[in-house]
């Protein structure tokens, strides 16, 4: 890895004009110099493109637009495909980063050459980005993911592009839980490391894909992605059912 490897911040946007300026500003203020921002807009119908346009004066910001609405799976996959960085990390357009988030992640990746994925703690915030809670995630067991027992990967999960390139890539058909698809595939290529520092501001608001009114739907897709990944790995449905029944019994449900 180069002393100052290129870090690609990946922003998949759809109708987040209300928040995306704060998102981009938080990246431009980073204390790490070698950054590109890859924005893929999924045919937004709000003011997003008008708000993004002035930011294109920065040579390290690149905007790509889908000709029609394709969904989050296709859009996030395109973000990765368009990126040039050795290290990548998704930043949702309604969230922001701490000022040292990228430098901290680059340092962690440099010290953990066998890490495919490194993720941080984060701040839970209200819709005005005021902190309501500092959320601590956990280290997954032995640096690897336990398939049916997610310890809760933090939203700022960064990965080495060379490890992603060993997978078959994100599933473009997914409408939600695309991050889970990414994690499950990266776990098969290298270690997963928890960085115990809050580096991400996660905004809760009524339009979020996995918060508030959307939570039940997000949970459905969360498990669907796991089942699809199990089938890709050759785990039979009977095995999946046995494990799920065991987990249900162990949890007292």
What is the Cα–Cα distance from 251 to 249, expressed in whole angstroms?
A: 5
Residue 235: partners with Cβ closer than 8 Å, 6 or more residues away: none
Model pTM above 0.95? no
**What is the distance of C-alpha 79 from the center of its chain?**
11
| All residues at 6 or more sequence positions from 241 whose CB lies less than 8 Å from its CB, including other chains | none
**CATH at 90:** 3.90.550.10
Q: How many CA atoms lie within 13 A of 244 on its CB side?
A: 12
Q: Give domain status of residue 248, yes or no.
A: no
Q: Please say if the pLDDT value at position 38 is more than 90.
A: yes
Spell out the alpha helix ranges (H) of the chain: 20-28, 48-52, 72-82, 101-111, 161-164, 178-186, 215-232, 237-250
Phi, psi of 134 (to 5 degrees): -95, 115
Q: Has residue 214 been placed in a domain?
A: no
Q: How many structural domains comprise the chain?
A: 1
Residues 206-232 have pLDDT tens digits of 765 555 555 656 555 565 666 666 667
Distance in angstroms (rounded) separating the CA atoms of residues 90 and 108: 17
Residue-wise pLDDT tens digits, 59-83: 999 999 999 999 999 999 999 999 9
14 located within any domain: yes
Tell whether 212 is covered by a domain. no
123 falls within a domain: yes
Q: Tell me, yes or no, whether 229 lies in a domain.
A: no
What is the C-alpha separation between 225 and 174, in angstroms, rounded? 8
Residue 221 domain-assigned (yes or no): no
Domain span holding position 178: 7-206
Does the residue 253 lie in any domain? no
CA angle 105–222–18, rounded 5-degree value: 65
CA distance 26 to 7: 14
């Amino acid at each position: 890895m180069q002393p100052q490897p290129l870090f690609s911040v990946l922003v998949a946007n759809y109708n987040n004009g209300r928040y995306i300026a704060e998102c981009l500003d938080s990246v431009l203020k980073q204390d790490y110099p070698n950054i590109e921002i890859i924005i893929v807009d999924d045919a937004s119908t709000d003011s997003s493109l008008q708000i993004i346009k002035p930011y294109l004066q920065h040579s390290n910001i690149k905007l790509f637009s889908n000709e029609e609405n394709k969904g989050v799976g296709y859009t996030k996959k395109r973000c990765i495909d368009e990126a040039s960085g050795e290290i990548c990390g998704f930043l949702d357009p309604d969230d922001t980063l701490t000022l040292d988030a990228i430098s901290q992640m680059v340092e962690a990746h440099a010290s953990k050459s066998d890490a495919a994925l490194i993720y941080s703690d984060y701040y839970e915030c209200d819709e005005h980005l005021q902190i309501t809670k500092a959320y601590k995630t956990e280290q997954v067991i032995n640096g690897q993911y336990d398939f049916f027992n997610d310890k809760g990967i933090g939203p700022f999960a960064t990965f080495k592009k060379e490890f992603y390139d060993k997978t078959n890539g994100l599933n473009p058909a997914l409408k939600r839980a695309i991050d889970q698809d990414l994690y499950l595939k990266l776990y098969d290529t290298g270690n997963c490391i928890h960085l115990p520092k809050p580096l991400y501001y996660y905004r809760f608001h009524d339009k979020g894909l996995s918060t508030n009114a959307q939570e039940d739907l997000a949970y459905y897709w969360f498990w669907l992605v796991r089942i699809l990944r199990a089938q890709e790995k050759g785990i039979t449905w009977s095995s999946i059912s046995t494990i799920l029944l065991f987990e249900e019994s162990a949890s007292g449900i």
